[in-house]
Amino acid sequence: MSKKPTALSILAAVLLGSAAIPFATLDAAAQTLTVVSFGGSYQDGQSKALFQPGAKALGITVKEETYTGIADLRLKVRANAVTWDIVASGSGSAARAGAEGILEKLDYKTIDTKDFLPNLAGEYCVGGDVFSTVLAWNTKTYGNNGPQNWADFWDVKKFPGKRSYRKGVAGALEPALMADGVAPADVYKVLGSPGGIERAIKKVKELKPHVAVWWSSGAQHAQLMKDGEVDMITGWNGRFDVVAKDGAQVAYTFNQALLDYDCFAIPKGAPNKDLAMKFLAEISKPQYQAEFTKYITYGPTNKKAYDLGTIDAAYAKRLPSHPDNAAKQVTVDLDWYIKFEAQAAAAYENMLTE
């Protein structure tokens, strides 16, 4: 007799509880965003400068996860199991993912990009920081007379030493054309016209005997310079600053560098799309972007960030998107990559395996 009421009361409690829980979780879910980025010192900076302060400003909770790239997201979208609201990505991958249909279109009525540097906000992704693919060299090998442009990088007589170049095609053809005498402003015009890709690849082939390592990741190209394995290299500026701080003998120039950006995108089927849009609007404001530069030498996409006065003037000169630096560079043309990357990659791979 005493057992039945207990069972009943448990049942009642469960029923009541399960009725109450959906409301509770719905409420919380509406206020929680899941953001995924690449981890390491990069996401550390993003977390401290963008994600957590942004969440606080909107009065929501931001949960952070890490991933290795768009390929992970593709699997989730295909399996209809998207749990991420915002993904950080390289601009090229995001552009291709957008073209493929696994990202939501961004609403630029919500996200204000009128003060952005040109070409740093696309249909599917909004720029978060600006980095450069630069020419770097070993200061012990070349002293103060390091190479200053891509023609120097190709000049093995004037600058003897081991080279390292990118194994993937992204950012590999533009320097070759500049070394071949194409003006920086015309690089994508030449690459997009018939014979342009072949011309660039022929130039890379010329350098091939002097390339000791074909690098394939940022960690790798930083390590190569730190170990002194090569004397001259292409790579992402922030990585070199990190190893230089660690004692590596490395310097780089923004001259003829490739200006590129990392961005944020919203996956197709994101659980909290509208809130994600508002969040992106928040962290695209100049004060967040200015704060982010304190953690890594990647520049803001919102040029107003430079006017706030929170970035130290001397430090600002070292950022890729500083007007003085940006003027010397070529901005990476994503449209070219969407159209030609697969074709160029196949030709590049043929050259590499030859």
Instruction: Answer yes or no whether residue 205 interacts with other proteins by CB under 8 A.
Output: no
Tokens standing for residue 205:
């082939």
Report CA-CA distances (Å) from 8 to 3, 14, 20, 22, 269. 9, 10, 18, 22, 41
Instruction: Answer yes or no whether residue 14 interacts with other proteins by CB under 8 A.
Output: no
Segment contacting other proteins by CB under 8 A, of 188-196, 212-220, 238-246, 301-309: 212-220
| Local structure of 97: helix, strand or coil | helix
Which pairing describes strands 250-265 and 330-331: parallel, antiparallel, or unpaired? Answer: parallel
* Min separation Cβ 262 and other proteins, Å: 17
Instruction: Answer yes or no whether residue 216 interacts with other proteins by CB under 8 A.
Output: yes
Instruction: Answer yes or no whether residue 30 interacts with other proteins by CB under 8 A.
Output: no
Instruction: Answer yes or no whether residue 346 interacts with other proteins by CB under 8 A.
Output: yes
Site for other proteins in 81-110 (CB under 8 A): 96, 100
The dihedral through the CA atoms of 182, 185, 186, 192 has a sign that is positive
Selected binder of other proteins within 212, 251, 308, 338 (CB under 8 A): 212
d(CA 243, CA 215): 16
Selected binder of other proteins within 38, 188, 215, 298 (CB under 8 A): 215
| Local structure of 109: helix, strand or coil | coil
**x/- letters, 156..185, toward other proteins (CB under 8 A):** ------x----xx-----------------
- Residue 163, beta-bridge partner list: 211, 232
| Local structure of 263: helix, strand or coil | strand
Instruction: Answer yes or no whether residue 44 interacts with other proteins by CB under 8 A.
Output: no
* Min separation Cβ 218 and other proteins, Å: 14
d(CA 313, CA 333): 29
Number of residues forming the site for other proteins (CB under 8 A): 26
Enumerate binding residues for other proteins (CB under 8 A): 69-71, 74, 96, 100, 162, 167-168, 212-216, 227-230, 342, 345-346, 349-350, 352-354
